[in-house]
Amino acid sequence: MTRRTNILLNADWLTIIIYLVFVLFGWMNIFAANYNEQYKNIFDLNQRYGMQLIWILASFVLAVFVFVIDSKFYSFFANLLYGITILFLIFVILVGREVHGARSWVSIGGFNLQPSEFAKFTTGLVIAKYLTTIDVKISRLKSILVLFGFIMLPAVLIILQPDVGSAMIYFAFILVLFREGLPGMVLLLAAAISILFLSTLMYPKIFIIITLIILAAIIFYFLNKKAKYLFWGIIIFLIAYIGFFLLNKYNYFNSTTLVRILLTLVVSSAVYVIFAIRRSIQHVLLILLFLFVLIGFIFSVDYVFHQVLQPHQQTRVNILLGKESDPLGYGYNVNQSKIAIGSGGFTGKGFLNGTQTKFDFVPEQSTDFIFCTIGEEWGFWGAGLVILLFGGLLVRLIYLAERQRSAFSRIYGYGVFSILFFHFIINIGMTIGLLPVIGIPLPFFSYGGSSLLGFTLLLFIFIKLDASRLSVLR
C-alpha cells in the first residue's frame, strides 16, 4: 500500500461528498437562475453556468493539487502564504479593477480573481501557526494583540477596497480563539458590543450614553453594596451637571446636552476617583474604564457608520433596523428575495420553473442570492435540506477538528468551520430577511471563480490535514 492510497482512504469522504453535492447543486441553480429560452445549453461558456463549470473543474484540479502537496507545507509556509495574500490585498487597492464601486479584483492570466477570497484560508493558517508557536499563550495580552493584528490586517485592507461585507467575515476567527481559550467573557463582551453596536445605529447617542451611565451606577452598587458611595457619586454628578447647565444658560460656555453630559461625566469621574482613592472604594477605576471605553466605542461606531460605510450600506442597515422604508431601494432586494423563497411553498415550483429568479426580480440571483433560486424551485424540502446539510457539514468539521492530534490542524479546522459558519449565517440570514443585506457569497453555491476556488482551498487543506493526521507526530 502506497502512502498515496493511504491518504485517500483516510480522507473524510463524508465531507467531500457534501462538498460535491453543494458544488453540483449550486451549479444547477446557477443554471436555473440564468436559464432562458435562448440559452438552453448548460455547457454554454458564454453564460454564467458554463463559466461556473470551468471554475468547478478548476476547483477539482486544485483539490487534487492540495492533496498531492505534503501536509507539512501548509504549516511551514503559513506565514509566507499570509504575507503573499496581504501583498495582493495592498496591490489590489492600488491598481485593482473596480467593480461595483470596489477595487477588489486582480487579473491573473486572463482571469479576474479576488484576493480577499484567498486571504481567508491564509489567515486561518497563520493563526494556527502562531498559536502553535512556543511561548504563545492565549492568556497573554501580547499574544492576543498579535492574533488580533493578524485578523485585523486583511480585514482593514478589505474595508479599504471598500468591501465591508467581506471584511466582516474576519470576525469569525473570534470563534477559533474562543475554542483555544479566549475567556468566555470576551465572547460575551463581543455579543454585548454587538448589541451596543446595533443600539448605536438605532437610537440617539445621548440616550445610550445615559443608559450606560445608569447601568454603571447599578453595577457599582451591586459590587460594593453601599448606598452611601453611590449617593455621593450621584451628588457629585448632579453638581457638575448643574454647573455646566448654568454656564450654558448664562452664555459663559455654550454646549449641547450631549456635550454637557460628557463633560459632567469626565469632571465628576475625576472628582470621584480622588474621593474613592481616599476612602479606598473598590471597583471604581475598572467600571469607569469600561464606561469610557464603551462610550468611545459608540462614537467610533457612529463615525464608521456615517463616514466609512457606503450610503447604500447605511441604507441597508437602516432598513433592516426598521428605520427606513424604501420598497424600491434596498428593502426591495430583501422583499423580492423573501417573495421568491416564499413562493416556492413546500414542494417548490420545480427545476427551471421559478419565475421570480428567472425574470431577474431577485438581484444578484446567481451570486449572493442563489439561495432564493433554491427556495423557489425546490421549496421547503430542498432549501431545508441545504440548511440541514450545511449544519451537518459544520458539525462534521467540529468533529474532525477535535479529532486532530496536532493543535495546528485543530486550530486551522476551527478556522475553516468559523469562516463557513459565518458565511452561512450571514448569507442565508440575509436572503430570508433575518439579517441585513451584506453582499457575501454562499460557500460552494454562489457563482464566482474566486469564491469557489477560495472555499475549495480552505476546505481541502483541512481535509488533507485531517487525512494525514495519523502521520503527524504529537
Partner 1 sequence: MDQYSARRYIVTALVLLVVLVYLIRLLYLQVIDSTYKLSAENNSKRIEILYPSRGLMYDRKGQLLVYNQAAYDLMIAPYELKEFDTIELCQILNIDKESLITGIKKAYNPKHRRDPFLKQISPETFALLKEKLYKYSGFYLRSRTLRKYNREIGSHLLGYVGEVSEEMIGNNPYYEMGDYIGISGLEKAYETQLRGEKGMNYFLVDVHNKIKGPYQNGRFDKDAVVGKNVVCTIDADLQEYGEKLMKNYSGSIVAIEPSTGEILTLISTPSYNPSLLVGRPRTLNYNKLKNDTLEPLFNRAIMARYPPGSIFKLVNALVALQEKDVTYNTQYYCDMGYYARGIKVACHNHDSPLNLPQAIQHSCNAYFCNVFRSIMEDRDFKSVAEAFNNWRDHVLTFGFGNRLNTDLPNELNGFIPQASYYDRYYGQNHWNALTILSMAIGQGELLITPVQMANMACVMANRGYYYIPHTVKQIQELDTIDSKFLEKHFTSIDTGFFNTVIEGMELAVNGGAGSTARIARISDIIVCGKTGTAENPHGEDHSVFIAFAPKDNPKIALSVYVEHGKWGASYAAPIASLMIEKYLTGEISNSRKWIENRMLNDNLLNKK
Residues that bind partner 1 (CB under 8 A): 36-37, 175, 178-181, 327-328, 332, 336, 338-346, 355-356, 359-361, 375, 379-380, 383-384, 387-388, 390-391, 394-395, 398, 401-402, 407, 414, 417, 421, 424-425, 428-429, 432-434
Note whether 461 and 74 are within 8 A (CB).
yes
In angstroms, give the least distance from the CB of 455 to partner 1.
Answer: 18
Residue 289 class from Cβ within 10 Å (0-12 exposed, 13-18 middle, 19+ buried)? exposed
Pairing label, strands 97-99, 102-108 = antiparallel
Rounded distance, CA 394 to CA 15, Å? Answer: 9
Nearer to partner 1, 93 or 187 (CB): 187
Position of cell 422583499? Answer: 335
Return the SS3 of 405.
coil
Note whether 374 and 382 are within 8 A (CB).
yes
Distances (CA, A) of 230 to 162, 182, 210, 365, 472: 46, 33, 16, 57, 59
Nearer to partner 1, 262 or 411 (CB): 411
Q: Comparing C-alpha atoms, which of 403, 401, 330 is closest to residue 369? A: 330
- Residues 6 or more apart in contact with residue 148 via CB below 8 angstroms: none
**Residues forming a β-bridge with 112:** 107
In angstroms, give the least distance from the CB of 399 to partner 1.
Answer: 8
Q: Comparing C-alpha atoms, which of 89, 119, 92 is closest to residue 107? A: 92
User: Residues 226-251, buried b or exposed e (16+ Cβ, 10 A)?
Assistant: eeebeebbeebbeebbebbeeebeee
Note whether 338 and 432 are within 8 A (CB).
yes
Q: Which helix (H) or strand (E) holds 103?
A: strand 102-108
In angstroms, give the least distance from the CB of 418 to partner 1.
Answer: 9
Rounded distance, CA 242 to CA 223, Å? Answer: 28
Q: Beta strands of 61-110 (E only): which ranges?
A: 97-99, 102-108
Return the SS3 of 163.
coil
In angstroms, give the least distance from the CB of 306 to partner 1.
Answer: 25
* 205: its cell numbers: 447617542
Nearer to partner 1, 74 or 378 (CB): 378
In angstroms, give the least distance from the CB of 193 to partner 1.
Answer: 17
Rounded distance, CA 302 to CA 300, Å? Answer: 5
In angstroms, give the least distance from the CB of 24 to partner 1.
Answer: 22
Nearer to partner 1, 152 or 389 (CB): 389
Rounded distance, CA 272 to CA 321, Å? Answer: 38
Question: Dihedral (C-alpha) 255, 259, 264, 266: value to the nearest 10 degrees?
Answer: -130
- Angle (CA) 332-337-343 rounded to 5° is 120
DSSP state of 39: B
In angstroms, give the least distance from the CB of 362 to partner 1.
Answer: 8
In angstroms, give the least distance from the CB of 117 to partner 1.
Answer: 23
In angstroms, give the least distance from the CB of 341 to partner 1.
Answer: 5
In angstroms, give the least distance from the CB of 22 to partner 1.
Answer: 15
Neighbouring CB atoms inside 10 A of 70's CB total 10
Nearer to partner 1, 116 or 333 (CB): 333
DSSP state of 305: I
Rounded distance, CA 422 to CA 416, Å? Answer: 10
